[in-house]
Amino acid sequence: MRRIEIYDTTLRDGTQAEDFNVSVEDKVRISLKLDELGIHYIEGGWPGSNPKDVQFFKEIKNYALSSAKIAAFGSTHNPRTTPEQDINLRALVEARTEVITVFGKTWDVHVRDALRISLERNLEIIRDSLAYLRPHVKKLFYDAEHFFDGFKAKPDYALATLRQAVSAGADCLVLCDTNGGTLPQEVAKIIGKVKKEFKNVSFGIHTHNDSGLAVANSLVAAELGASQVQGTMNGYGERCGNANLCTIIPNLMLKMKIPCITDEQLTRLTKISRFVTEIANLPHNKYQPYVGASAFAHKGGIHVSAVQRNPETYEHIRPEKVGNIQRILISDLSGKSNVLHKAMQYGLDLESRDPVVLEILKQLKELENQGYQFEGAEASFELLMHRALGTQKKYFDLLGFRVIDYKSKEDDAAQAEATIMLGVGGKIEHTAAIGNGPVNALDNAIRKALEKFYPELKEIHLDDYKVRVIPDKTGTGARVRVLIESSDREDTWGTVGVSTDIIEASWQALVDGINYKFLKDSKKKKGVS
């Protein structure tokens, strides 16, 4: 059975994406994770273009990779020099990698308008550049830039550029859809002609996503015999991105039955996809196939009821195969099945005929109509269920709070102070605190009042705070939804509050976050997971 090699270019092509920035240390950490995933080639960067990439190639040599080979990337030599004099080619050799990938011009438009040289001179440059590099590496790959556009414009010339690369010793011809505008049927037709011309030469595919077809075009090439597929984690890349390896790899293995990594490595895909996102300090795309948080999330009551009986009814694969999980969402579309699933998840004893199930559903729909959203605030929903069942303990009572936000001079920073009065076990605690803004001041005041009674509150960290204006016609009087993400040493949880007053909405979410901490700690003491 043939095997496809995966070539990852996240650290080079992926970093050209808007807002994607990583340090040398970040690139090393990502490389180690890609190696753990079983990626065959990791393109570390372009050593001739910037000092950071030069440093990466030096640093990565301090690590022993189990499966991946590091590739250095660069262009054919400058038309005004020879290969021996070219700084870029020299930098590729000095990177001392086992693999070098060089791109050259295939499209006559680029030869004429970008390089401003003759078509014949471009052929010489391709041949001479690869011939110069050949003795220095174990693997030499040639990226035929803009190949599909070049073939559509001048097929004979596009094929001539490939012949020069083969004659100079290229191990693999990588056909690039650099502008991302080629359709799958065009890719298939053109690859068929390339295979007819180069019967015993390995070819690969490198596609961009400007038409939303990068993954589809990559899979077409794989079906037609490509030995190498290039792409990036999460599809990061310039403009609309590159072919998404997080989609390509499971499609190859699970749908096309073409092996590329092991089944065990495939189970790490979701975790590593999100790791790359975290390192790049970008939000993870929850709607991404296979690895997104919503990839196996079910919201409609009919869907939930079906997947509980048989997951295949609404899941094309088992999420565990790619390291993801099934999620049952709570919303105004929820039915009994959603509530019962959550009850089981929370360790609550509920049955389908229990009247409290209908009461919970009624409350849920009323609250969502007011603007509440529990999909990212499941801690608030669990508290709602406990209140409906009468099992929610009251840890403190609010007797009043006041928040003052003031600014004395135009150029001075605003100051915030919160005063709060709480009743705890028959005692009244009255205190004040300042903070970076009114919500932070209120959070500090709550903690200051409660920590002497509940020292475990010191473990809670507020990780994220989001405010969303709920669409309305009342302008600045519209309701706002506050979502807060909290964590302790073991868990992370989300809570929600809604009000026309942002401080009141924040209070609701803050209090739910505290109450959930108490709830989960009490469950832990009782041995409930």
What's residue 358's pLDDT? 78
Determine the average pLDDT of the residues in 205-217.
Answer: 98
Residue 473's pLDDT band (cuts 50, 70, 90): low
- Residue ranges covered by each domain of the chain: 5-261, 347-389+454-529, 396-443
What's residue 204's pLDDT? 98
pLDDT tops 90 at residue 142: yes
What's residue 516's pLDDT? 92
What's residue 193's pLDDT? 97
CATH fold for the domain made of 5-261: TIM Barrel (3.20.20)
Which CATH number fits the domain 347-389+454-529, given the four candidates 3.30.420.40, 3.90.650.10, 3.30.160.340, 3.40.50.300? 3.30.160.340
| Tokens 């006041």 -> residue | 402
What's residue 472's pLDDT? 65
pLDDT tops 60 at residue 529: no
Q: What is the pLDDT of residues 429-438, one digit of tens each?
A: 999 999 988 9
What's residue 250's pLDDT? 98
What's residue 352's pLDDT? 61
What's residue 337's pLDDT? 67
Query: What percentage of residues in the chain have a pLDDT greater than 90?
Result: 66
Q: What are phi and psi of 433, to 5 degrees?
A: -155, 155
Determine the average pLDDT of the residues in 24-37.
Answer: 96
Query: How many angstroms separate the CA atoms of 23 and 29, rounded?
Result: 10
The 3 state secondary structure assigned to 391-435 is CCCCCCEEEEEEEEEECCCCCCCCEEEEEEEEEECCEEEEEEEEE
Q: What is the pLDDT of residues 221-276, one digit of tens each?
A: 999 999 999 999 999 999 999 999 999 999 999 999 999 999 999 999 999 998 99
Residue 374 CB contacts under 8 Å (≥ 6 apart), including other chains: 330, 331, 364, 367, 368, 380, 381, 384, 496
Query: How many angstroms separate the CA atoms of 506 and 442, rounded?
Result: 9
What's residue 527's pLDDT? 65
pLDDT tops 60 at residue 335: yes
Residue 192's pLDDT band (cuts 50, 70, 90): very high
Query: What percentage of residues in the chain have a pLDDT greater than 70?
Result: 96
Max Cα-Cα span within the chain:
91
Q: What are phi and psi of 232, to 5 degrees?
A: -130, 155
**What type of residue sits at position 203?**
F
Which residue has better confidence, 280 or 272? 272
Query: How many angstroms separate the CA atoms of 88 and 218, rounded?
Result: 29
With contact defined as beta carbons under 8 Å apart, do 356 and 350 qualify?
yes
**Average per-residue pLDDT in the chain?**
90
* Helices 438-450 and 502-526, packing angle to 10 deg: 40
- Most confident range (mean pLDDT) of 152-161, 393-402, 447-456 is 152-161
Q: What is this structure's pTM?
A: 0.72
pLDDT tops 60 at residue 329: yes
| Tokens 């990779």 -> residue | 65
With contact defined as beta carbons under 8 Å apart, do 299 and 314 qualify?
no
What's residue 282's pLDDT? 83
> H/E element holding 165?
helix 155-167
pLDDT tops 70 at residue 16: yes
CA dist 308 to 313, 356, 492, Å? 9, 21, 26
With contact defined as beta carbons under 8 Å apart, do 10 and 236 qualify?
yes
What's residue 273's pLDDT? 95
* Helices 119-133 and 155-167, packing angle to 10 deg: 20
For residue 67, the tally of other CB atoms under 10 A from its CB is 16
CA dist 505 to 33, 374, 475, Å? 40, 14, 17
What's residue 490's pLDDT? 81
